[in-house]
Amino acid sequence: MKESYLEKGCIQKEDEKKYKEVFQGISMIILLFSWIGCGHALYRGNSGNLSFYSTMIVLFSLLNADILFCIKNAKNKVVNALAKFCGIFFVIGAFAEMAALILK
């Protein structure tokens, strides 16, 4: 009886890890497209879209903070490289936003 509960717990943890990896991959792709949209809105001068994409970037960066800003790596090499790229962009964007606020 006890073994079946332990086996179910292990299976659930493995399933949670799989779902977490899939979610990280999908959310990192959404984060990349948010950065592309933000750059396009900045190029076009559309402040409404720029605000929307900035909010999306902050939201998905916070959801993936463990792989963006920590030493922890993602399981997939592509997602790991994408995470480091988006993390660097997030820090650069934050400093640029602070500089813009100070200069105004």
pLDDT band at 7; cut points 50, 70, 90 = low
Could you read off the pLDDT of 37-55 as tens digits, one per residue? 988 988 898 888 888 888 8
Cα(80)–Cα(52) distance, rounded to whole angstroms? 25
Residue 2: pLDDT over 60: no
Q: CB neighbours of 50 closer than 8 A, spacing ≥ 6? A: 38, 41, 42
Cα(38)–Cα(94) distance, rounded to whole angstroms? 13
- Do residues 88 and 104 lie in contact, with contact meaning Cβ atoms separated by under 8 Å? no
Cα(100)–Cα(65) distance, rounded to whole angstroms? 24
Average pLDDT estimate for 53-62: 87
Pull the structure tokens for residue 72.
């922890």
Cα(83)–Cα(14) distance, rounded to whole angstroms? 23
pLDDT at residue 33 in the model: 92
pLDDT band at 78; cut points 50, 70, 90 = confident
pLDDT band at 11; cut points 50, 70, 90 = low
Buried b / exposed e across 18-54, counting CB within 10 Å, b at 16+? eeeeeebbebbebbbebbebbeebeeeeeeeebeebb
